[in-house]
Amino acid sequence: MAELLDLQAWTCPVPLRDSPTIVMGHGGGGQMSAELVDHLFIPAFGGPAPGGLADSAVVTLGGSRLAFSTDSFVVRPLFFPGGSIGHLAVNGTVNDIAMSGATPAYLSCGFILEEGTELAVVGQIAQDMAEAARIAGVSIVTGDTKVVDSGHGDQVYVNTAGFGLVPDGVDIRPNRAQPGDVVIVSGAIGVHGIAIMSVREGLSFGSDLVSDCAALHPLVAAMLSVTKDLHVLRDPTRGGLATSLNEIAVAAGVGVNLVEKSIPIPPDVANACSLLGLDPMYVANEGKLVAFVPRELADEVLEAMRAHPLGAESAIIGECSEEHPGMVVAKTGFGGTRVVDTPLGEQLPRIC
């Protein structure tokens, strides 16, 4: 068992000195989450993966390339318009695997259940997982269950891990983005996060917005049938589109230029965000992907995406450039310029 890390030995010029304890921001998917990984976990586990941190890791075993991923689900509420923690648990890991271009095959699942949780709740979640797995064509082949005392753990926490085979000739990872690449999003953003918020205590809306939770590997397969040379795929979950694009820009050392008008946002999402003072670019998605595609293939890939039900509203939203490496910049509706930065922690509703 590793000894406690020696904080003095951290080389980062701005260590987590302002926060000796874990705060909610560490789970937000933004800068604080990244720092926790970069400065606490990676040094402990022996250095970054080759290719940079992606949704899944591509490893070689016995001559086969596997994409391997894990994800934990702590969403509140457990059941929301369009799905539940069960659907998320399966599709979340399935999508992470798909973002390496692999076809997801097998999943594990681990449950941490709080004493006192109703069996019917756990049963429904299991049903939802089975349903999602069936639709995604994956098998849940192993699992584990632990129970914690009442008051510890929020009814149900789920972890899933999984892997799938990466086809030959496919090499999709964040640092493959290059100047000239076209950025395509597979549909309208912000849907899942707003659907969740519509139920969460204190922020309820009366709208028909449902989560976009879905398994994306069939869409990826359609894209790969046009070309194996997709450079980057990412499903923008926590932290939203802005976070994913920033991570890719930094990993690849490229600048990303967006055209705001071309980013599809459903009116309900836009209006809910206006009301709360949120920016849709930072709101979570669970059934969308963003792709960095070589320029000369962009139109064909886009067409294939639009022909698929999961990508019917796909749109080109920008491109990579050599300028401002590591930064994402957007042209606003008026031709103004706006820097789209990574959020620090969670995005919160504001009054100003």
Site residues, other proteins (CB under 8 A): 14, 18-19, 21-25, 31, 202-207, 255, 257, 259, 267-268, 270-272, 274-277, 321-327, 329, 331-339, 341, 344-345, 348-352
| Complex with other proteins: residue 221 or 259, whichever CB lies closer | 259
Find out whether 326 and 247 touch, Cβ atoms under 8 Å: no
DSSP codes of every residue in 242-266: HHHHHHHHHHHT-EEEEEGGGS---
Residue in the block written with tokens 């989450």: 33
For residues 125 and 91, is the Cβ–Cβ distance under 8 A? no
Residue closer to other proteins (CB basis): 23 or 210: 23
CB of 163 to other proteins, least distance (A): 34
Closest CA to 107 of 117, 116, 97, 118: 97
Give the nearest distance from C-beta 268 to other proteins in angstroms: 5
Q: How far is the CB of 197 from other proteins (least distance, A)?
A: 10
Comparing CB distances to other proteins, the nearer of 226 and 270 is: 270
In terms of CB distance, is 30 or 218 closer to other proteins? 30
Nearest to 243, CA basis, from 193, 308, 205, 297: 193
Six-digit token pair at 312?
């019917």
State how far the Cα of 113 lies from the Cα of 100, in Å rounded to an integer.
Answer: 31
Other beta carbons less than 10 A from residue 25's beta carbon: 18
Q: How far is the CB of 346 from other proteins (least distance, A)?
A: 9
Work out how close the CB of 262 gets to other proteins at its nearest, in angstroms, rounded to a whole number: 12
Nearer to other proteins, 275 or 307 (CB): 275
Residues 6+ apart with CB under 8 A from 326: 246, 249, 250, 253, 254, 255
In angstroms, give the least distance from the CB of 159 to other proteins.
22
Between 35 and 55, CB nearer to other proteins? 35
Evaluate whether 122 touches 111 at the Cβ level (below 8 Å): yes
